[in-house]
Amino acid sequence: MKLKPARFSLCLLLAALATSLAPAGENMIGQMSQNEGMLVLPAQGKVVIDGDLKDWDWSGRVWMFADAAVRDSYSAEVAAMWDADNLYLAAKWKDPTPMFSAIDPAINPNDGWKSDSWQMRMGMGDRTLWVTTWYYTAGKQSALHLAYWRNPADAKNGTAEQILIANPGSTSLGKGAEMAYKADPDGKGFVQEIRLPWNLLFKAVPEIKPGLAMRLGCEFLWGDVTGGKAPPAHRIADNMAKGRTDRQFYWTTKDAWGEARLVEKGNVPVRQYGIATVQSARIEGTVPVRVSVPVTAKRFTIAIDDEQGNRVRNLAGDLDPRDYAMKEEGAIRSVEVKWDCLDDAGAQVKPGAYKIRGLAHDGLDALYEMCFYNPGTPPWATGDGRGAWGADHTAPIAVAAAGDGMAVSFPGAEGGSGTIGLGADGRKSWGEKCERRLEGAAGGGRISRHQG
């Protein structure tokens, strides 16, 4: 597919402007998103809770993912809006097993977090609460569990809880709350849309107006094909307080929950995310080159030609449009790359009119199927000690011959074997159990054999 063509004129004065450099790892730490606060935009009219999101201003969305390498499979784009009566929340999930939970809210209301669950950690002035949401697949029911801390400053004092369950196929949860789910056409994700009345969140509802701030931490947990009978397959905790990165016990670390602030106007600049290694080579300049690509596009390229069609600059090659996104409307995403007014040889271009040419496409995907496992025969532990392989935390560092076999030592083993014996055929014949402080097993890294 081709980019929508554009034409523009340049003034050399623009090239004299200072280049605006983006910070390395923008809104990220390593490969993980690091959102420090989010904006709650004003609703532009009546919001229908149907999972469609056509009545949403999506410009304020934040993107949450634990690893950029798998964000097409495990991530959530989250947005919030407000009016005088309600807080609106929506998430666009990427999920290999979308909307699949075997947790019946009528039987196990406290277990909804185990599969495809959005948990909110909320500080609402005089009240602290947890909100857990999920979709019970077999019953076709939305469920919302509220747990209000008895002591707003400390979860150790317990919680007062209630569960709201929609009738099959309905979006109404009761008490003014509403929630809808809608599967993506490609079967790789879904949309979740929620309406929460302010009086369900605040103990004493304050004046609802721009500037009102609350804490809104988000945890997303993905289930697998068991729908919650096995531990969650993936987890994200994001929207952090400024400077906080501690996510391990996020649900009780209320000071780490990020701020959500009501703003007066919408249509805000779309938040961008840049991996530090990518940001260090990010294309920067003074003249914005903005093009429109399909939201499904995974890669794009931009080139600049003069009026005669001669190539002046290969500006952007094989980039991820999400790293340069400025705005998204329906099926179209607007991306922007800044040009420094230089040609491919590094010389400043002459004033004049130039044309943009480009290409966008869906990219080539590599799917994770399985790990290579290990050389064990079989690769899992067996009662006779011949299965599996060595240590779980370290590589082997020492070996000693013993007859027609050998012993191999690993310096540290929390699981598996710290020392293993191999026969002449290279197969494991025995393993020294973990957590034994033996030389060569988990301690000194030395190994020896008896000569007698």
Q: What residue spans define the domains of the chain? A: 6-20+282-361, 28-262, 371-452
Mean pLDDT within 394-405? 89
Token duo for residue 135? 């979709």
The one-character DSSP state at 397 is: -
Whether residue 229 is predicted with pLDDT greater than 60 in this model: the reply is: yes
Token duo for residue 334? 């607007």
Tell me how far apart the terminal alpha carbons of the chain are, to the nearest angstrom: 75
Q: What are phi and psi of 218, to 5 degrees?
A: -125, 130
More confident residue, 162 or 385: 162
Is-contact 114 83, C-beta < 8 A? no
pLDDT band at 50 (very low <50, low <70, confident <90, very high): very high
Mean pLDDT within 407-422? 88
**Domains 6-20+282-361 and 28-262 equal at CATH topology level:** yes
pLDDT band at 328 (very low <50, low <70, confident <90, very high): confident
Residue 337 makes CB contacts below 8 A (sequence gap 6+) with 283, 285, 288, 289, 302, 315, 316, 319, 324
Query: How is the chain split among helix, strand and coil, in percent rounded to 5?
Result: 5, 40, 50
Rounded to the nearest integer, the mean pLDDT of the chain is 87
Residue 190 makes CB contacts below 8 A (sequence gap 6+) with 51, 93, 95, 98, 99, 181, 182, 183, 184
Nearest to 116 by CA among 147, 88, 145, 95: 95
CATH 3.30.930.10 fits 28-262, yes or no: no
Is-contact 179 133, C-beta < 8 A? yes
Residue 134 exposure: Cα atoms within 13 Å on the Cβ side:
32
Whether residue 23 is predicted with pLDDT greater than 50 in this model: the reply is: no
3-state secondary structure of 15: helix
- Distance in angstroms (rounded) separating the CA atoms of residues 36 and 58: 18
pLDDT band at 275 (very low <50, low <70, confident <90, very high): low
CATH 2.90.10 fits 6-20+282-361, yes or no: no
More confident residue, 345 or 377: 345
DSSP annotation string for 92-129? EEE-SSTT-----TTT-TT-GGGSSEEEEEEEETTEEE
What local confidence, expressed as pLDDT, does residue 304 receive? 95
Token duo for residue 280? 């260090």
Percentage above 70 pLDDT, the chain: 86
Q: Look-up: residue for tokens 């703003």? A: 263
Whether residue 18 is predicted with pLDDT greater than 50 in this model: the reply is: no
- Distance in angstroms (rounded) separating the CA atoms of residues 256 and 246: 7
What local confidence, expressed as pLDDT, does residue 371 receive? 64
